[in-house]
Amino acid sequence: MASFTTLPLVANAIEEPSYALVASWDEPDIEIRDYDPRLLATTKMTEGQNSGFRVLAGYIFGGNDAEQEIAMTAPVQRTMPGQKNAEMAFVVPRAFSMDDLP
């Protein structure tokens, strides 16, 4: 089972996947969440964190077969640092299904 960390939101208007809060701690603002099923656009991080982000950002900014921009969502996910075969993922907006992704 892969473990993912999440990066903080940049803006409040970004779509987030639905989840149930399992547990939380006041310090340092830690939550355990159970996310509903969702689609992820995922890439390998072969040259570190920035390479994975560049690939995914290119995809959502129109660097895909349909040259279609896709709205940014949160959280951005990545496997824990130091894991073999590290990956980074964007959550696909709910408006898309596997059948209509560009």
| pLDDT for position 44 | 86
Q: Please give the model's pTM, rounded to 2 decimal places.
A: 0.68
| pLDDT for position 9 | 44
Q: Is residue 16 part of a domain?
A: no
Q: Is residue 25 part of a domain?
A: no
Q: Is residue 2 part of a domain?
A: no
Token pair listed for 60: 């959502």
**Calpha distance 77→100 (Å, rounded):** 22
**Calpha distance 35→20 (Å, rounded):** 6
Q: Is residue 96 part of a domain?
A: yes
| pLDDT for position 78 | 83
Range of the domain at 91: 38-101
| pLDDT for position 81 | 67
Listed as ranges, residues in the chain with pLDDT below 50 are 1, 7-11
| pLDDT for position 51 | 79
Q: Is residue 54 part of a domain?
A: yes
Domain count, the chain: 1
